[in-house]
């Protein structure tokens, strides 16, 4: 099925992009890396956008919600990139897997959706998995990197709710384009005081982030357009395979046993939640 192939491609491209971000954050501040991520992807996304929609449709959008989503995106990118600097990619992804559970929880007060006790239980179990990964240490409840990724996941969840609202009015192209524009400008202004000159040796890494990020965004959009969300969404968990492989190949790191346990709890609760949502959809629309 084309949608499955597109989703698997998107997950791989996002993993490669994040490997580039982790490489860059070793030399530049997180906000500067977030800015470079936006700027590097803009040219290719602009070609895609202008080839599919009119300039008029790009300008007539729900600006307040786009600005709010952009602000969430800046906080999300900062938190995730900061976490990548402090921990292996696989650990950061394991925490970030809680985001779909948070989206379901937030959809109740913000979108008026109904969530039954079984799905609330799955959400609670997923949060327990996060606590397992952010286990108590001698230095305190959790590392700053882990908490930063958790903050990024919360911002992602709120951002996903805004996408659902924006999709009722604006095109996917407009959402992708303005997200990158606001991310680039906002993060760039915040990063300006501590901006570090770009090293020539990092040009290829920045270009790679732009290419993989653009391909991932387009593939993700097309995957959800062509396939059912209940079929496509679980494929996000294949990211753990890629991040573990990249951690081992590039940095010689592997998750410890407790991280594997926490990731397993989160993934299991996510699969159960997706199954319940599919059953609920079948009941509502047989």
- DSSP conformational letter for 216: H
Average pLDDT over residues 190-214: 96
Residue 111, CA atoms < 13 Å, CB-side half-sphere: 19
d(CA 136, CA 141): 5
pLDDT at 1 over 60: no
Give the number of residues written for the chain.
286
Dihedral pair phi/psi, residue 58, rounded to 5°? -70, -30
CB within 8 Å of 148: residues ≥ 6 apart: 78, 79, 80, 82, 83, 86
8 Å CB contact between 75 and 188: no
- DSSP conformational letter for 256: -
- pLDDT for 107-152, tens place per residue? 888 878 777 788 888 888 888 888 888 775 543 345 788 889 999 9
- The reported pLDDT for the residue numbered 16 is 97
DSSP for 179-194, written as a single string: HHHHHHHHHHHHHGGG
DSSP for 74-112, written as a single string: HHHHHHHHHHHHHS-HHHHHHHHTTHHHHHHHHHHHHH-
- pLDDT for 2-50, tens place per residue? 878 888 999 999 999 999 999 999 999 999 999 999 999 999 999 989 8
178 membership: H or E segment, kind and range: helix 172-191
Distances (CA, A) of 260 to 81, 102, 150, 244, 265: 21, 20, 17, 11, 9
Q: Is 116 helix (H, G, I), strand (E, B) or coil?
A: coil
Query: What value does the mean pLDDT of the chain take?
Result: 87
Distances (CA, A) of 99 to 61, 92, 162: 26, 12, 14
Confidence of residue 280 (pLDDT cuts 50, 70, 90): low
Tokens at residue 84, please? 């990548």
Q: What is the pTM of this model?
A: 0.87
């Amino acid at each position: 099925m084309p949608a499955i192939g597109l989703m698997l491609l998107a997950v791989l491209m996002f993993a490669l992009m994040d490997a580039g971000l982790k490489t860059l954050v070793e030399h530049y501040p997180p906000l500067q890396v977030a800015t470079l991520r936006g700027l590097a992807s803009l040219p290719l996304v602009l070609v895609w956008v202008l080839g599919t929609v009119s300039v008029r449709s790009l300008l007539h959008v729900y600006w307040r919600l786009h600005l709010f989503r952009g602000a969430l995106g800046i906080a999300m990118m900062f938190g995730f990139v900061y976490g990548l600097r402090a921990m292996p990619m696989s650990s950061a992804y394991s925490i970030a897997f809680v985001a779909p559970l948070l989206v379901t929880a937030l959809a109740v007060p913000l979108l008026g959706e109904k969530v039954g006790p079984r799905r609330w239980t799955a959400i609670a179990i997923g949060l327990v998995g996060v606590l397992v990964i952010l286990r108590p240490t001698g230095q305190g409840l959790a590392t700053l990197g882990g908490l930063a990724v958790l903050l990024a996941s919360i911002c992602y969840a709120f951002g996903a709710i805004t996408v659902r609202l924006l999709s009722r009015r604006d095109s996917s192209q407009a959402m992708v384009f303005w997200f990158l524009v606001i991310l680039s400008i906002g993060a760039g202004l915040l990063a300006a005081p501590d901006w570090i000159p770009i090293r020539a040796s990092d040009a290829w890494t920045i270009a790679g982030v732009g290419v993989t990020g653009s391909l991932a965004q387009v593939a993700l959009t097309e995957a959800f357009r062509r396939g059912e969300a209940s079929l496509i969404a679980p494929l996000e968990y294949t990211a753990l395979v890629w991040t573990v492989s990249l951690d081992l190949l590039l940095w010689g790191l592997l998750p410890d046993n407790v991280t594997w346990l926490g990731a397993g709890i989160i993934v299991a609760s996510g699969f159960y939640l997706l199954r319940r949502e599919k059953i609920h959809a079948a009941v509502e629309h047989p």
